[in-house]
Amino acid sequence: MAQEKKMVEAITSMEEDFAQWYTDVVKKADMIAYSSVKGCMIIKPLGYAIWENIQKEADRMFKETGVENVYMPMFIPESLLQKEKDHVEGFAPEAAWVTHGGNEKLQERLCVRPTSETLFCDFYANEIMSYRDLPKLYNQWCSVVRWEKTTRPFLRSREFLWQEGHTAHATAEEAIARTELMLDVYRRVAEEVLAIPVICGQKTEKEKFSGAEATYTIEAMMHDGKALQSGTSHYFGDGFAKAFGIQFTDKDNQLKYVYQTSWGISTRLIGGLIMVHGDNSGLVLPPRIAPTQIMIVPIQQKKAGVLEAAAKLKEALSAFRVKVDDSDKSPGWKFAEQEMRGIPLRIEIGPRDIENGVCVIVRRDTGEKTEAAIGTIAETVGALLPKMQQDMYDRAKAHLESHIYEATDYESFCDIINNKPGFVKAMWCGDSACEDKIKEDLTATSRCMPFDQTPLADTCVCCGRKAKKLVYWGKAY
Question: Which residues contact a second copy by CB under 8 A?
Answer: 1-3, 5, 33, 35-37, 40-45, 48-49, 51-52, 68-77, 80, 93-103, 109-110, 112, 119, 122-123, 126-130, 132-133, 138, 142-143, 145, 147-149, 158-159, 161
101, 54 contact by CB (below 8 A):
no
CB of 38 to a second copy, least distance (A): 9
CB of 165 to a second copy, least distance (A): 13
Q: Which CB, 35 or 376, lies closer to a second copy?
A: 35
CA 272-273-276 angle, to 5 degrees, is 75
CB of 350 to a second copy, least distance (A): 25
Q: Which CB, 128 or 220, lies closer to a second copy?
A: 128
Q: Which CB, 246 or 471, lies closer to a second copy?
A: 246
Q: Which CB, 46 or 200, lies closer to a second copy?
A: 46
Compute CA distances 204 → 176, 236, 324, 364, 424, whole Å.
Answer: 17, 15, 50, 39, 16
Q: Nearest CA to 238 among 248, 225, 226?
A: 248
CB of 235 to a second copy, least distance (A): 23
CA 285-289-290 angle, to 5 degrees, is 55
> For 167-186, b where at least 16 C-beta lie within 10 A, e where not — what string?
bbbbeeebbbebbbbbbbbb
Q: Which CB, 127 or 379, lies closer to a second copy?
A: 127
CB of 200 to a second copy, least distance (A): 29
SS3 call for 292: coil
Q: Which CB, 40 or 360, lies closer to a second copy?
A: 40
CB of 357 to a second copy, least distance (A): 33
Q: Nearest CA to 424 among 460, 475, 464, 458?
A: 475
Half-sphere exposure of 442 (CA within 13 A, CB side): 27
Q: How far apart are the first and last CA of the chain?
A: 35
CB of 206 to a second copy, least distance (A): 21
Q: The dihedral of CA 452, 453, 456, 461: what is its sign? A: positive
Q: Which CB, 16 or 108, lies closer to a second copy?
A: 108
CB of 285 to a second copy, least distance (A): 17
CB of 404 to a second copy, least distance (A): 35
Q: Which CB, 107 or 419, lies closer to a second copy?
A: 107
Q: The dihedral of CA 289, 144, 23, 438: what is its sign? A: negative
Phi and psi at 194, nearest 5°, equal -95, -5
Identify whether 197 is preceded by a cis peptide bond (ω within 30 of 0). no
CB of 467 to a second copy, least distance (A): 38
Alpha helices in 155-267 (DSSP H): 172-188, 239-244
Q: Which CB, 132 or 440, lies closer to a second copy?
A: 132
Q: Nearest CA to 28 among 48, 5, 52?
A: 5
Alpha helices in 371-420 (DSSP H): 377-402, 410-419
Q: Nearest CA to 170 among 194, 196, 126, 136?
A: 136
Q: Which CB, 92 or 456, lies closer to a second copy?
A: 92
